A and B are shown apart, each in its own frame.
Chain A
Amino acid sequence: MTAISVSGLNKWYGSYHALRDIDLTVEPGERIVVCGPSGSGKSTLIRCLNRLEDHQSGSIVVNGTPLTDDLKNLSAVRREVGMVFQHFNLFPHLTVLENCALPQILARGTRRAEAEARARRYLERVRIPEQSAKFPGQLSGGQQQRVAIARALCMEPKVMLFDEPTSALDPEMIKEVLETMIALADDGMTMIVVTHEMGFARRVADRVIFMDAGQIVEQAPPEDFFGNPHHARTREFLEQIVH
């Protein structure tokens, strides 16, 4: 079964046409990197995939469940899809451990002991088990983002969405977050990552997608995408971000 299949997706903010006729298929285990200029609709696209934004036409099917207004479908989809945000969006009033444990309890009815054990396991996996009693505000940006990844993983999603996970970080912290994401990719997680970290794209992506003005302009495996871009807009964009 395809992990995500999007066809003929259109999205308007009021009268502003933010996504135009998007078609996209993601197979299980596939890693997709999405790039494109600011305002091109990258965030909007991945936010449609777990319905943080609703769409006006076209269809989105996640693991066989169509995204509609049906609340049952919606919660089924959100169970399968984890999301990591640019600004982490950790819950500042909860400790690191609670950030990872409480959502399981609230969303799944997991028993506390089990939720905490799983939280510890994933905090270990993102290599910050020793911070579990601290509050998010007491951690560095890179650590916070790794906690956010652990929090999403605790829901044991089948697909992970990343919206510019490193662009709010100081340069010296980007690496630790990217390494965590690479490890996740190596474990076979299906990932859609909006990022301008081209090193990461080359290393991890099966496919790179370039968006501009709400459209998918070009998609190709990284070698082709970086070595032999077809569209003038892609070349222009790549020239800008290489410097």
Chain B
Amino acid sequence: MTSVTEHPPLAAQTPPAKARTPLVRLLFGDALSALLTLLALGLILALLPALDWAILDAVWRTEDPDACRQGGACWAYVHDKARLILFGIYPPDQHWRPLLVIGLILAMVLASLSPRLWGARLLAIWGLSLLAMLGLMQGGFLGLPLVPTSQWGGLPVTLLLAVLSLGIGFPFAVALALGRRSALPVPRLVSVGLIELVRGLPLVGVLFVASILLPLLLPEGWTIDKLGRTLAALTVFAAVYLAEVIRGGLQGVDKGQGEAAQALGIPFWKTIWHIILPQAIQKVIPPLTNTAIIMVKNTSLVMIVGVFDMLGAGRAAAADPAWPAPYTETYLFVALMYFLICIAISLYSRWLEQTVKNRSHS
């Protein structure tokens, strides 16, 4: 006979609470933590004088540039020149237009956050609103004074260059990635050739080619606006980097996905667009984010071919002889703007990745 042991009824059990690590252990628990803690403390101490400069001795508000000559940070200057840095040499009485463009970009970005809304319709809305933004910046209709692109500057230029180069570059990137994986030799060789060529060049080189060589190569009478040429260079650059990221994603999509779609009779391009690409992109959210952030920062290089992005506008503002050369403050302000943009992209991608992950595990 077997003896029967009585089991108490199974009570619902909560997992035991995870014990908190004491702070001291966290900071000095092992040699590495201790070392890092000490280094961090050292860094903070080293930065204290800078804090003095940035806060205690800083001049926050003044109308008089000479008040800024005592050695503290001159935030009054940033305040005074903020519009110049943000909008460059765009006519001051028209500043509402670039401001509206910034607002529109923010609104579109906010409206596009949820993956639920992604699709052909959202793409079309993006296309239209970008055209509207470009029209608004340029003017020349409905009583809006014409502002040529040579007078555009600052944050809207930075944002438009980043959004347009990534946005226009993306479909080309998809085409290049598909081409590179194609069994047909011509698309494959063209894709590989283009990707390797552009990846082998520094962005500065591509920008110079686009802004200086391109006009010389074009037939007589053809001109492309400098901003347009710069955008073209950034787009080509973005496309090849995105292409390699997307190729990685395509490789990660199981072969059975395409076969299932084939067996269901879904046409090839619809399979790519609805079945394969969404999965490929979901797999490479972190490196895509990385490329997006790099491209946002890369737009600052357009300054060297004379396009007034935010950094260029900032440098121009700092050159005002009335103020005591406040380059550090300008660069810090511009850096802060870039940081805000990039950290926002980064946080968003973390959230997006988590949303995607929640679907694959209950």
Contacts and interface: CB of A to CB of B under 8 A. Distances in A.
Interface stretch (A20-28, A81-89, A111-119, A225-233): A81-89
A85 B259 contact: yes
A78 interface: yes
Nearest to B263: A83
A155 interface: yes
Contact of B256 (A50, A85, A102, A134): A85
B266 to A, nearest CB: 5
Interface stretch (B136-144, B201-209, B220-228, B275-283): B275-283
A138 B360 CA distance: 6
A107 B265 contact: yes
Interface in A137-182: 137-138, 151-152, 155
Contact of A52 (B259, B275, B359): B259
A135 B261 CA distance: 17
B259 A155 contact: no
A138 B256 contact: no
A78 B271 CA distance: 15
Most central of A52, A92, A102 by chain B CB within 10 Å: A92
B261 A103 contact: yes
Given A78-B264, A92-B360, A135-B359, A106 B270 contact: yes
A128 to B, nearest CB: 15
Interface in A49-96: 50, 52, 75, 78-79, 81-83, 85, 87, 89-93
Contacts of A91: 257, 260, 275, 279
B360 A155 contact: no
Interface residues of A, number: 27
Contact of A107 (B256, B266, B279): B266
B222 to A, nearest CB: 42
Contacts, number: 69
B211 to A, nearest CB: 41
Contacts of A52: 259, 262-263
Given A93-B278, A135-B360, A137-B362, A106 B256 contact: no
B360 A137 contact: yes
A13 B261 CA distance: 23
A52 B267 CA distance: 14
A75 B267 CA distance: 9
A95 to B, nearest CB: 9
A88 to B, nearest CB: 8
A138 B359 contact: yes
Contacts of A83: 260, 263
A37 to B, nearest CB: 23
Interface in B88-143: none
B264 A152 contact: yes
Contacts of A108: 265
Contacts of B256: 85, 87, 89
A152 B361 CA distance: 24
Contact of A103 (B259, B266, B282, B360): B266
B267 A106 contact: yes
Contacts of B362: 134, 137-138
Given A92-B279, A102-B274, A106-B270, A137 B361 contact: yes
A93 B254 CA distance: 13
Interface string B321-362: 000000000000000000000000000000000000001111
A109 B275 CA distance: 16
Nearest to B277: A93
29 contacts: A50-B263, A52-B263, A78-B264, A79-B265, A81-B263, A82-B263, A83-B260, A83-B263, A85-B260, A87-B254, A89-B254, A89-B257, A89-B259, A89-B260, A92-B279, A92-B359, A93-B278, A93-B282, A102-B274, A103-B261, A106-B274, A107-B266, A134-B362, A135-B359, A137-B360, A137-B362, A138-B361, A138-B362, A155-B265
Interface of A: 50, 52, 75, 78-79, 81-83, 85, 87, 89-93, 102-103, 106-108, 134-135, 137-138, 151-152, 155
Given A89-B257, A89-B259, 16 more contacts: A50-B262, A52-B259, A52-B262, A75-B265, A82-B264, A85-B259, A89-B254, A89-B256, A91-B260, A92-B279, A92-B359, A92-B360, A106-B267, A106-B270, A137-B360, A138-B362
**For the complex of A and B, 7 pairs with smallest distance between CB atoms:** A137-B360, A89-B260, A78-B265, A89-B256, A107-B265, A83-B263, A138-B362
